[in-house]
Amino acid sequence: MTRQETSYCAPRQMFTADHELYRSSVARFIADRIMPSHSQWEEDGLVPRELWRDAGKAGLLLPGIPDTYGGGGGDFLYSAIVVEEIARALASGVTGFTTHSENVAPYLLEFGSEAQKAEFLPKMATGEVVGSLAMTEPGAGSDLKAIRTSAAQVDGGFCLSGQKTFITNGYHADRVLVFAKTEPAAGARGISLFWVDAKAPGFSRGRLLDKVGQKAQDTAELFFDNVFVPDDMLVGELNAAFGYAMSGLVRERLLIALRCATALEVALEWTVAYVKQRRAFDKALIENQFIRFRLAEIKTHSCATRAFVDSCLVQYLEGTLTTDGAAMAKFWASEATRAIDDLMQFFGGYGYMREYPIARAYTDVRPNRIYGGSSEIMREVIARAL
C-alpha cells in the first residue's frame, strides 16, 4: 500500500510511480526539516526565512510551473501531493508554500507579462523570492468587489493606498500580488492586480496576527501608503482582475478540499490507534459501542469525502471541473472536518493538549471552512447553479 492510500479507501489510480517517488521526497523533507522544529516555530509565530530556500532546493516550491520558468514542470498532481503531505504531517507552518506556489505563481504564469514571468518565477521556485496574495481587507472578505484599496494612475505607474489583513506570508513576502480598485465607480469591473515590491517606500507590515491555530504560519496586516507601482508591475489588463480571481478560485477551492480530505483521514487514523490502546473500566475504548459506532460513521464519511474530492480532482485534470463543482468539493470536505471535534473527544483530556496532534488538528484545520470562500458563500455559489 502506498503512502497516499488508506486501509479503507480505494487505491487512487491517477497517481503514477513518479508521483509516488515525489510524494516520498516531500514527506521526507517535511519529516526531517520541518517537524523537528515546528513546535518552536509555533511559539515564534513564523518559520525561518531560510526554510523557503531549503524547500526550493528540495523541489517543494512551484512544482507545477513549467521548467522553462524554473518550476518543477509537473502536472497538477504534484501540487496536490505537496498540499496533502503538509496536511498529513500537520505542518501548518508551511501552508504558505501553497499560497506562494499555487495561488501567486499561477496568476503570474497565466496573466503576467513575459518579463514578469522570466524575472520572478525562477526566483520563486528557489525560494529567493517569497510571494503573497493580498485580497482580504478589514471590511471586505469573500466579497472582493467591496475592497477599498485603490490605485490611482500617475505618470509612469500607479499610486497604491489601502490596507490588507489576514495575509498569509505577509511577514516574509518579498513581493505581494495586490488587488486594488482602479476604477471605483465600475465595481467588480474596476479592479486591477499589481505585483508590489515589499521594499517600496510606503509599504509596511503590521504585527504578526495571533491566531487560534496555524501558529507557525506567518499571517500579517499590510499597509500601502501612496506606494508607487510602475506600469510594468501591473499584472494582466487594467480593470480585469475580478475575472482573474474568479478563474483562480476553482483551483484554490479544490486544493482546500484535498487538504481537508487528508486531514480528516489522518485524524481518524490517530484516533483509531489511540482508542485501541487506551483502556477505561478494564477494556480498550474501542470496545465501547458508542465510540466504535461513531468511528464507523466517521470512517464512512471520510471515505465518501475522499471519493468525491478525488472525482473532482480527475475532472480538474480533464479540464471539466466547474465553478460550482469546486465549491461543492470545498464545502463538503471542509464541513466534513467537523468530525475532528468528536475524534478529539475520544482522547479525553489529552485531546486538549497541543502536544497531541489531534489538538492541533482541531484548531489548525478549522479555518478551511472560512478561507477560499466561507461555507456560507459556497452554499450561494452552488445554489446559483441549480
Give Cα 385 distance to the centre of its chain: 25
**Rounded distance, CA 164 to CA 222, Å?**
5
How far are the Cα atoms of 11, 74, 118, 177, 232 from residue 111, in angstroms, in the given order? 36, 20, 13, 12, 13
How far are the Cα atoms of 170, 207, 241, 243, 280 from residue 177, in angstroms, in the given order? 11, 19, 11, 15, 54
Q: What is the DSSP letter of 13?
A: T
Q: Does the annotation mark 137 as catalytic?
A: no
How far are the Cα atoms of 136, 159, 172 from residue 199, in angstroms, in the given order? 21, 15, 12
Cross-strand bridge partners of residue 159: 152, 228
Element (H, E) at 274: helix 241-277
Taking a C-beta distance cutoff of 8 angstroms, is the pair 255, 313 a contact? Answer: no
User: Which of 84, 252, 269, 318 is an active site residue?
Assistant: 252
E-strand stretches of the chain: 131-134, 150-154, 157-168, 175-181, 191-197, 203-208, 219-230, 234-235, 279-280, 283-284
Give the residue among 14, 75, 95, 17 at the shortest CA–CA distance from 309: 14
Q: Is 350 exposed, middle or buried (0-12, 13-18, 19+ CB in 10 A)?
A: middle
The grid coordinates listed for 267 are 485524524
Element (H, E) at 282: none
State the catalytic residues: 252
